[in-house]
């Protein structure tokens, strides 16, 4: 009956809300790069990142499912919401509206870090960003802001220098540009900021950042120790870097309990 369907739908939505209900939560936030050693692209090109600095902030955590779920992510919340919407839709004769594939619903804001910082991604240890403030709950996705650096920080959003080796060629290139983008719908590897104490670590995947570059199209360096050459702002490699740094594949976060 319609009443039975409504009761089931309400219970399902209540369960979704229960996932994000909780007391206040303050936790340490840090950032680090993954795979800081030699990287290898699909075509066999080997990359060594000589410099990698990125300006980040603010960073926010949400209850909504990520734009693209990582393998092994728990799809339960999405199934419950889809079932609830289906049950509620059965009560009405009007056609239901469906989200476009890939549409991101951020849900509730559960925690946020509101500062801006330049990060040396090649630092030996993760960089502490300070405290994120929010509430307990099921943290399923994240937003990372890549802003134009304020005057107090200076420079540009991304500053990168790379040495690439393919067969007998060595290519040394540099890129420095402002991004000014919010990277939304980033997947989180596990439940963050539960009642346990710990640190949320945002990780930047350098392989994902660089993997779109066609090194074969770049001019060879005169020697293995030659200066890095600036990328053509209109070229494929520059565009590939911009796509890489603004991709949800480049970022994730995990909870480190203590």
Mean pLDDT of 103-128: 93
SS3 string, 90-134, reads CCCCCCCCCCCCCCCCCCCEEEEECCCEEEECCCCCCEEEEEEEE
Residue whose entry in the numeric block shows the structure tokens 């990125």 = 54
Band (121; pLDDT cuts 50, 70, 90): very high
The percentage of the chain sitting over the pLDDT mark of 90, rounded to a whole number, equals: 56
Q: Whole-number mean pLDDT of the chain?
A: 80
74-88 pLDDT, tens digit per residue, is 333 333 333 333 333
User: Does pLDDT of 165 surpass 60?
Assistant: yes
Q: How much is the pLDDT for 162?
A: 96
| Contacts for 113 with CB less than 8 Å, ≥ 6 apart | 29, 57, 58, 59, 60, 129, 130, 131, 132, 133
Band (209; pLDDT cuts 50, 70, 90): very high
User: Does pLDDT of 91 surpass 90?
Assistant: no
User: Does pLDDT of 139 surpass 50?
Assistant: yes
23-38 pLDDT, tens digit per residue, is 888 999 999 998 888 8
What gap in Å lies between CA 69 and CA 62, rounded to an integer? Answer: 14
Of 110, 129, 126, the C-alpha closest to 55 is 129
Angle between helical axes of 2-20 and 76-89 (0-180°, round to 10): 150
DSSP 131-191: EEEEE-S---EEEEEEPPPPTTT-S-SEEEEEEEEETTEEEEEEEEE---EEEEEEE-SS-
- Do 38 and 134 form a contact (C-beta atoms < 8 A)? no
Q: How much is the pLDDT for 189?
A: 72
User: Does pLDDT of 207 surpass 60?
Assistant: yes
- Do 88 and 101 form a contact (C-beta atoms < 8 A)? no
User: Does pLDDT of 186 surpass 70?
Assistant: yes
């Amino acid at each position: 009956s319609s009443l039975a369907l409504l009761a089931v739908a309400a219970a399902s939505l209540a369960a979704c809300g229960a996932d994000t209900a909780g007391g206040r939560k303050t936790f340490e936030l840090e950032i680090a790069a993954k795979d800081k050693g030699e990287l290898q692209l699909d075509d066999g090109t080997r990359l060594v990142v000589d410099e990698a600095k990125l300006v980040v902030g603010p960073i926010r955590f949400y209850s909504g499912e990520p734009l693209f779920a990582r393998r092994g992510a728990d799809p339960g919340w999405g199934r419950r919401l889809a079932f609830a919407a289906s049950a509620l839709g059965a009560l009405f004769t009007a056609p239901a509206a469906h989200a476009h594939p890939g549409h991101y619903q951020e849900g509730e804001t559960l925690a946020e870090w509101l500062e801006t910082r330049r990060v040396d991604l090649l630092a030996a240890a993760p960089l502490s960003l300070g405290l994120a403030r929010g509430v307990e709950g099921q943290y399923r996705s994240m937003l990372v802001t890549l802003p134009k650096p304020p005057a107090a920080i200076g420079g540009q959003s991304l500053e990168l220098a790379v040495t690439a080796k393919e067969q007998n060629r060595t290519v040394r290139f540099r890129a420095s540009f402002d991004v000014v983008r919010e990277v939304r719908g980033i997947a989180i590897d596990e439940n963050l900021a539960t009642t346990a104490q710990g640190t949320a670590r945002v990780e930047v995947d350098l392989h994902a950042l660089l993997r779109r570059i066609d090194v074969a199209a770049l001019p060879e360096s005169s020697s293995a120790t030659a200066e890095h050459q600036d990328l053509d702002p209109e070229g494929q490699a520059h565009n590939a870097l911009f796509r890489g740094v603004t991709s949800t594949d480049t970022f994730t976060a995990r909870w480190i309990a203590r």
